[in-house]
Amino acid sequence: MNIFNKLTSLFSTNKSPNNTHELGLNISSNLKQFLENEVLPGLGINADSYWQAFEQIIDEFSPRNKKLLNIREEIQEKIDNWHLERKGSEHNHEEYKKFLEEIGYIVPRSSKFSITTDNVDPEIKTIAGPQLVVPVMNARFALNAANARWGSLYDALYGTDVIDEQDGATREGGYNPIRGDKVISFAKNFLDETIPLEEGSYQDVLGFDFSNNEILAILSYGKSKLKDSDQYVGYCDYGNSAYGLLYKNNNLHFEIQIDSNHPIGQTDKAGIKDILMESAITTIQDCEDSVAAVDGEDKTAVYRNWLGLMKGDLKESFDKNGTLISRELNGDRKYVTKNGDELILPGRSLMLVRNVGHLMTNPGVIDSNGNEVPEGIIDAMFTICIAMHDLNKNGVYENSKSGSIYIVKPKMHGPEEVQFTCDLFSAVEKALGLPQLTVKVGIMDEERRTTVNLKECIEVAKDRVIFINTGFLDRTGDEIHTSMEAGPMITKADMKLHQWIAQYENWNVDIGLETGFKGKAQIGKGMWPMPDEMLGMYNTKTMHPKAGANCAWVPSPTAATLHAIHYHQILVSDEQNSIMQRDKASLDAILDIPVHKNPSAITADEIQAELENNCQGILGYVVRWVDQGVGCSKVPDINNVGLMEDRATCRISSQHIANWLHHNLISHDQVIEAMKKMAVVVDQQNSSDPIYKNMSPSYDGLAFKAACDLATKGRVQPSGYTEPILHETRLKFKS
């Protein structure tokens, strides 16, 4: 009998094996009590059996995890040596490419195949739309993101710079009817473009009528049908003559809400008070880059919120301007179709969970040899077990109606590491009695060795994969670290214009479509980082659906509502059909190393400006991470523009400094002085935060030291990651 049959026997007979002390695992009391008292009840799993299964998985997968990390280091050392041996010589691309193939950095190319992932929800397969990524450690943010499936278009427009403030349309103070009129005009233009009438404009609509299974718009000179009658889906009766009209376009819904008794509806000739948009179709509840979880206590907080989301009972209360506000998950939305049938639409985003990568361990679980357990193994065992409550329908709502668990896995380097993840998920499925392939995997294409082998990574996971995406920040951080010895890199601004970036973005889509993602899985694009600059997002983020991405990250629920407009304007499946006819992106261009061709031409002022920009970004993020345990927040940049920051931003900035420091464009003393100068700036930017601790003028705090270490020791950090220094420093702060 193999170990999984033994475990199945333990679960089915409810026999109790040795307890965790006898087994040798040392579980933090927070995690142990949480698992036994909160997670397992209702799942029919014996606690001792769970821990024994966990330990056997740890014993099997920890050595494999360590081996994979060693391979990363071995490959990096070979690449470093290759560049060092050719220092001063002109770069030979063909020789370089052949070398990468010889060392297994580029693996043999896959033959033609198509993914076979089954039991996938339509939010992933067929509905293109915005995607939120949110720190699950923060219950308020997690709930707001889950509830962002629906959002008010009027609120999103009124409260952002999408609507200008000219001619008296200011946002300050109470409701401004001048601004309100601009909002309504924008919204009705959206209706004209999205669900056009056969005659007339929504600007002139006086009301609505229903006749012969069709919705009619009442105009001063008669009634008008929709050009496409199939766009009208049904209605919802709110009572007191208030109702909603539901429409569908490009697989997305929105509801025209009519209430002549509402303050806004009273001012509208058709009685329209709002347009409720289907917005964040999916949400990634994040255990990784956007959280600061360094021990068993932190991990328990992360997992407890994930459990609350899966059971539907997560609640959070907070003070907002002197008023106590409570949050909980929204219920589903019920409509009557035009044929008289009941239609129920999800009231919440479909939730995925992002586990951590392979690198870090966590002291929350110690193995029988006294070693911290890889955190990715802990995440897999806990997040999958918790999601069983959703599969077993133990909660208030359903998340996946197809019976799947969706895990996004970051920071994997190549197909062998993807295989490890698939094998780990399979082992957890067996241990917990789940059908094989219940757990689906999202592959984040954010490491260079994954990019160049993306098709081969997908093939390894072809029966589990539901997601690939690109991410400029982490991917650039790895680009710099991988080619550290090749020479000084171009500036971050120039990096965005380099050919490898554009080809990388296209390559990701090309490979996804080539391997059958269309209509089966998500192809994602990265974050718009400026939550206060929604006009900029609205004007530019059409590039993501036009690029063939059926989901793209946005920084807030408001941004999701605004970005949803783009998916009404652009049918992604049509864009994908066109993209499949183009020439495939160039691997040679992706391998073009972004070193500066003439570093001596960079002026001292340019060098100092780049250094200070990087230092300010690192400090602004790290001081909150270390001192407050905040893994993601809106951090002012050097120009006081608020940017949504997580560890990826910190990684690129620290690697860029490390690269210039290594190649003597800057000195160690210059870095420290820039850090001190920028610490004063960051202190001033946080002056209104009552719990913020200044870094200046002493410059001796843990956060300041961590920021300096990230820059000055960045070259020797594994793959250039920030986690080892951040985790170590945060643990010191907590102790």
Looking up residue 199, the CATH number of its domain turns out to be 2.170.170.11
Residues 475-501, mean pLDDT to the nearest whole number: 96
Model confidence at 682, in pLDDT bands (50, 70, 90)? very high
Pair 67, 178 in one domain: no
Pair 82, 10 in one domain: yes
Domain boundary (77, 94, 111) is at 94
Domain boundary (249, 278, 307) is at 278
In the chain, how many domains are there?
3
Cβ neighbours around 318 below 10 Å, total: 11
In-domain check, residue 53? yes
Please report which helix (H) or strand (E) contains residue 286, including its range. strand 282-286
- Residue 321 is predicted with a pLDDT of 81
In-domain check, residue 683? yes
Q: Is the peptide bond before 697 cis (omega within 30 degrees of 0)?
A: yes
In tens, the pLDDT along 237-258 reads: 999 999 999 999 999 999 999 9
**Whether residue 12 has pLDDT greater than 50:** no
Pair 639, 730 in one domain: yes
In tens, the pLDDT along 289-342 reads: 999 999 999 999 999 999 999 999 999 998 888 888 899 999 999 999 999 999
In-domain check, residue 388? no
Q: How far is residue 720's CA from residue 711's CA, in Å, rounded to a whole number?
A: 10
Q: How far is residue 684's CA from residue 700's CA, in Å, rounded to a whole number?
A: 17
Residues 547-559, mean pLDDT to the nearest whole number: 97
In-domain check, residue 721? yes
646 part of the active site: yes
**Whether residue 212 has pLDDT greater than 90:** no
Q: How far is residue 139's CA from residue 689's CA, in Å, rounded to a whole number?
A: 21
Q: How far is residue 298's CA from residue 734's CA, in Å, rounded to a whole number?
A: 11
Nearest to residue 220, comparing CAs of 232, 207, 238, 233? 207
Q: How far is residue 56's CA from residue 53's CA, in Å, rounded to a whole number?
A: 5
- Residue 399 is predicted with a pLDDT of 98
| Count of all residues that appear for the chain in the document | 735
In-domain check, residue 291? no
Helix extents (H) in 281-438: 296-311, 375-391, 415-432
In tens, the pLDDT along 256-290 reads: 999 999 999 999 999 999 999 999 999 999 999 99
Share of the chain above pLDDT 90, in %: 92
Q: Is the dihedral of CA 417, 76, 469, 574 positive or negative?
A: negative
In-domain check, residue 630? yes
In tens, the pLDDT along 632-650 reads: 988 888 889 988 888 999 9
Residues 340-352, mean pLDDT to the nearest whole number: 97
- Residue 469 is predicted with a pLDDT of 97
In tens, the pLDDT along 50-72 reads: 999 999 999 999 999 999 999 99
In-domain check, residue 114? no
Model confidence at 5, in pLDDT bands (50, 70, 90)? very low
Residues 165-178, mean pLDDT to the nearest whole number: 94
- Residue 325 is predicted with a pLDDT of 87
Nearest to residue 318, comparing CAs of 143, 555, 556? 143
Token code pair at residue 538: 């609205």
- Residue 22 is predicted with a pLDDT of 66
3-class DSSP state of 473? helix
Q: Which of the residues 333, 354, 448, 715 is marked catalytic?
A: 354
Identify the burial level of 599 via C-beta atoms within 10 angstroms of its C-beta, where 0-12 means exposed, 13-18 middle and 19 or more buried.
Answer: middle
Pair 163, 43 in one domain: no
- Residue 318 is predicted with a pLDDT of 84
Q: Which residues of 32-70 are buried (b: 16+ CB within 10 A; e: fewer)?
A: bebbbebbbeebebbbbbbbbbbbbbbeebbebbeebbe
In-domain check, residue 394? no
Q: Which domain holds residue 703?
A: 599-734
State the CATH number of the domain containing residue 670.
1.20.1220.12
User: For all residues of the chain together, what is the average pLDDT?
Assistant: 95
Structural contact between residues 357 and 474, judged by C-beta atoms closer than 8 angstroms: no
In tens, the pLDDT along 367-398 reads: 999 999 999 999 999 999 999 999 999 999 99
Q: How far is residue 183's CA from residue 195's CA, in Å, rounded to a whole number?
A: 18
In tens, the pLDDT along 570-623 reads: 999 999 999 999 999 999 999 999 999 999 999 999 999 999 999 999 999 999
Domain boundary (222, 245, 278) is at 278
